[in-house]
């Protein structure tokens, strides 16, 4: 796998703001990203041209992804400013929200999600709580909590997990 960094690839308005929310490939081949300063997402074509912008119900886009439900693309955002995970339409309409109350955390436990991913085969949602409890959580498509991982049964406890990905290259998805 080889790549070359192209700092001027995207044709977006310049900003001095710091942002590290990443990019997500959309089902139609376009690219989703967050705005560096505003609560907004951008849809770019593969040449970096802005095709669409829409406001989102999130104050601090950190990690994001897309999924398809009933034939429609939806956007998932890990919001570090509001400590929540939001699901919205491509028009920015809030469809669902996960807050600390939806996670098996105590009142004193910190919570600040950094990434979200959706398994296209099962619809399960995976959330990395990287700036909070340093755990990864699994949810059913109905947004019921099903699993909490802390890394202790692997190579060691997680330390600020910043991304969670669903690997669909095998018959059964892997996180």
Sign of CA dihedral 21, 25, 28, 30: positive
- Provide the pLDDT for residue 12: 80
Closest to 103 (Cα-Cα) out of 127, 119, 80, 124? 127
Torsion angle of alpha carbons 109, 129, 77, 24, nearest 10°? 170
Instruction: Please report the pLDDT score of residue 14 as a whole number.
Output: 66
Rg (CA), the chain: 16
Inter-residue contact 50 to 40 (CB < 8 Å): no
- Cβ–Cβ under 8 Å, residues 53 and 40: yes
Give 10-residue mean pLDDT values along the chain (175 residues): 80 71 90 90 94 95 94 96 97 98 95 96 96 95 95 83 90 88
pLDDT at 94: 98
CA distance 40 to 132: 24
């Amino acid at each position: 796998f080889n790549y070359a960094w192209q700092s001027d690839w995207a044709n977006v308005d310049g900003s001095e703001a710091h942002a590290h929310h990443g990019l997500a490939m959309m089902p139609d081949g376009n690219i989703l990203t967050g705005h560096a300063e505003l609560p907004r997402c951008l849809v770019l074509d593969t040449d970096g041209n802005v095709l669409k912008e829409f406001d989102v119900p999130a104050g601090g886009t950190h990690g994001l992804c897309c999924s398809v439900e009933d034939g429609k693309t939806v956007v998932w955002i890990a919001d570090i400013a509001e400590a929540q995970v939001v699901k919205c339409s491509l028009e920015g309409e809030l469809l669902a929200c996960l807050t600390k109350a939806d996670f098996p955390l105590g009142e004193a436990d910190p919570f600040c999600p950094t990434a979200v991913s959706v398994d296209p085969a099962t619809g399960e949602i995976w959330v990395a709580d990287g700036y909070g409890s340093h755990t990864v959580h699994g949810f059913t498509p109905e947004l019921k909590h099903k699993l909490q991982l802390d890394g202790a049964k692997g190579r060691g406890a997680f330390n600020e997990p910043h991304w969670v990905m669903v690997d669909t290259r095998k018959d059964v998805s892997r996180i």
